[in-house]
Amino acid sequence: MPAVTGPGPGPRTAPLTYEQEWYAANTRRSTRVPRNVRLSYRILGPLDPELFEEAVRLFVARHDALRMLPVPAPGAATAQQVLAVDPADRPVLHRSVTASSADQFSYYAAAVLSRDVITPLTGDQRPFTLRLLRHDAGHHAFLATFGNLFFDGRAHDLFTREVWQDYAALRDTGEPAVPSAPSFAEAARRQREGYGPRHLERARASWHRRLEFAARHRWRELDGVRRTADGSVGARLPAATVAALREHCRATRCTVMHWLVGSFVRALAREAGQPRLSLWTSVDSRRPAERDVAGMFAGPAPLAIADPAAALPEVVAEVGHAMVDALRHQQFTAGELAGLLDSPPGAEAGGAPLARDVYVNLRSFPGDHRPVRADGELRITADAYPLRRITFQDSSALHLRCDEYRDTVLLDLLFDGRRVGEPLARTIVDRVVADAAAVHRTTSASRKALP
């Protein structure tokens, strides 16, 4: 069994990150059933199940976030403890499934994943459920669910990348490709200890300012909306357009995500008549040196956009400044945040609690978009099993998801059919696509004009 480096001999407990604290508080306040983070693969080809389990075990041993348990405390946990690495641990549950066809096997896998997504991972057990289902020697399904308290989108990406890297390395050399990983417990301690009273006071003032703006500029309900069923509209920016966007963003000192949100915000102002816009996004508070820490560092943050109808470069710049301010001042306790959401500063007495009427999720991946990837003789399909009989309620009028890959950007805009409707949602997405195409044309023309 290959050796693995776990966390050092430091303290076996750590505080919750700010983002863990927010998630736990929101879960207690919400009437909705918490849902676990999910990940799944359809694996076709000669998979070695024992070798694959070893790659998964190595990930669990390296990343102490998957060996965390909340420390019991009156009211709510405020700390977490790290369980020691157990060399004999077998984290993956194996099962052979008798199915009359590949379709029936996939239906069964989707049903199992759906059940695991809504099954609470309680405080006295490890924060994941991992299953490897076998249809036959050349057809497997891997289903993974993780507790949100310990696993965010960046951790999701790390799991996918590192497990398959280790599987290939163990198969080819007998040694893991990723021998060690930084500790989540240590990163959580650094987060809590890294900010003094003056910074925390500035963070509090920033949140007050942004939430006061949100209370004054709530979503304006639209007249004449053609109501439809709730749904989503999507678009895909091709590789040439994404390359042109990156070139443009380097020249104008922004990021592709800042640009996309700026274009989206401007479309909302012009197509949906929103003269001032408060939107929410998820902020990853990992420091640059902590990009490979698996754990929970993703939390909500409001952004205040005072002039969303300005020229696109100005809107992109304002979005960039707002996102940097949110990231810099993310340190805020759950108790204070809950009080401000229920009674936002500057709102009239008895006013409605703040709602996340416009929400954007931004994710960047270093590689190409490959829903089906090849690993030797294996064909691996990600997100192969849709949830069954589970619906996700979204209180937002609009919820934009942006996934940036090296070769493409995927846009998916979820809309409230009563408040927005599909025609308006489609118009907003089309405007973002048109803005990106205009950048591509301008960049191409500039290249041709060069001597």
**What tens digit of pLDDT does each residue of 137-158 get?**
999 999 999 999 999 988 988 9
Short-list 233, 281, 215, 282, CA closest to 416: 233
Burial class (CB in 10 A: 0-12, 13-18, 19+), 374: exposed
Mean pLDDT, range 283-304, rounded to an integer: 92
In tens, the pLDDT along 191-210 reads 989 889 999 999 999 999 99
Give pLDDT tens digits for 19-77: 998 888 877 766 566 789 999 999 999 999 999 999 999 999 999 999 998 887 766 66
- pLDDT tens profile 315-367: 999 999 999 999 999 998 888 887 777 777 776 655 677 888 999 999 988 88
**Distance of alpha carbon 266 from alpha carbon 281, whole angstroms:** 16
Q: Is 220 exposed, middle or buried (0-12, 13-18, 19+ CB in 10 A)?
A: middle
Residue 31 DSSP SS3 = coil
Reduced 3-state DSSP string for 283-330 = EECCCHHHCCCCCCCEEEEEEEECCCCCCHHHHHHHHHHHHHHHHHCC
Tell which CATH architecture fits domain 196-368+386-449.
2-Layer Sandwich (3.30)
Domain coordinates in residue numbering, the chain: 13-190, 196-368+386-449
Q: What is the C-alpha to C-alpha distance for residues 268 and 233, in angstroms, rounded to an integer?
A: 15
Please tell me the least confidently modeled range out of 226-235, 257-266, 382-391.
382-391
Domain 13-190, classified CATH 3.40.630.30, yes or no: no
Which tens digits make up the pLDDT trace of 128-137? 999 999 999 9
How much is the mean pLDDT over the chain?
89
Nearest to 60 by CA among 128, 143, 8: 128
Tell me, yes or no, if the two domains 13-190 and 196-368+386-449 fold the same way.
yes
The 8-class DSSP code of residue 139 comes to E
- Residues 296, 286 contacting (CB under 8 angstroms): no
The pLDDT of 287-294, averaged and rounded, is 91
Please report the pLDDT score of residue 7 as a whole number.
45
Mean pLDDT of 377-399: 87
